[in-house]
Amino acid sequence: MLFASVDLPSLDKDKATTDIMSLDESLWFWDSYRATSMLPLMTKGASIGAQGANNRNRQGEFEWVPYAPPSITSWFDDVVFPWMGMKSRVMALKTLPRAANHEHIDCDAHKMGTRQHKFRIVIHGRVETLYFMTKQGNVHAPDIDGPFIMDGSWPHGMDNATDDFKLTLAVGAPWDGRDHYDNINLLLQQKDYQMPDDFAKYFMKV
């Protein structure tokens, strides 16, 4: 599985976007690896800022940060987390108009070959600005309205070649997917593509 839509009860994306964009800009931080602004929403111990993005060796349970909007927390608590079977880190990602995210891989090199599914929903902007890098060229995600799962171990990037900002809610580690899904629509399959030979250069250097 490379990309699949998920059939879940809908989120009021307009309300969620308004609530996120009304928060103080100082709560965001710049992530140079992906070249995007990040806003922690659920983190271990409700840590904020760049510290909230780091799960490594951090103790504590996942909790909503104090400023997390109820329009978002209620949807995750009532819909997404029961579907996932656990809580995990939730971030908002913001990309400015005509800006691009760095091409990257969302897992450590030693985890290649393991299941590395990531849950996403674009609440403002266009899903198909996301693309996966293959030997055959860049393959863009389909234009969908709801949440989706993508393989974070496949090199990917995003070019927001529009006149509007893009806002995405992202869930990742420690959730890495499920053994079986009943409510997804498989839209891009790994078996149809080949990963670039030079994929190793897209890992985060730690």
Mean pLDDT, range 97-109, rounded to an integer = 88
Rounded Cα distance, 33 and 139, in Å: 21
Q: What is the pLDDT of residue 109?
A: 84
Rounded Cα distance, 39 and 138, in Å: 28
Whether residue 135 contacts residue 197, with contact meaning beta carbons closer than 8 Å, is answered with yes
Q: What is the pLDDT of residue 200?
A: 82
pLDDT tier for residue 206 given thresholds of 50, 70 and 90 = very low
15, containing H or E segment: helix 13-21
- Is residue 52 pLDDT above 80, yes or no? no
> What average pLDDT does the structure give for the chain?
92
Rounded Cα distance, 138 and 105, in Å: 15
For residue 183, which of 59, 9, 41 has the smallest C-alpha distance?
A: 9
Query: pLDDT tens digits for 123-147?
Result: 999 999 999 999 999 999 999 999 9
Q: What is the pLDDT of residue 121?
A: 98
40, containing H or E segment: strand 36-44
| C-alpha separations of 131 from 6, 31, 69, 146, 188 in Å | 18, 19, 29, 17, 11
Q: What is the pLDDT of residue 57?
A: 54
Q: Which domains does the chain have, with CATH numbers?
A: 3-202 (2.60.120.10)
Say whether pTM exceeds 0.85.
Answer: yes
63, containing H or E segment: strand 62-64
Q: What is the pLDDT of residue 205?
A: 54
For residue 52, which of 44, 64, 60, 61 has the smallest C-alpha distance?
A: 44
DSSP 80: I
Query: pLDDT tens digits for 109-125?
Result: 888 889 999 999 999 99
Work out whether the CA dihedral 164, 141, 178, 54 comes out positive or negative.
Answer: negative
Task: State residue 71 phi and psi, 5-degree precision.
Answer: -60, -25
Report the chain's C-alpha Rg in angstroms: 16
- As a residue count, the chain comes to 206
- Is residue 91 pLDDT above 90, yes or no? yes
- Is residue 33 pLDDT above 50, yes or no? yes
- Is residue 85 pLDDT above 50, yes or no? yes
What percent of the chain is predicted at pLDDT more than 90?
77
Rounded Cα distance, 103 and 37, in Å: 15
pLDDT tier for residue 58 given thresholds of 50, 70 and 90 = low
Rounded Cα distance, 201 and 79, in Å: 36
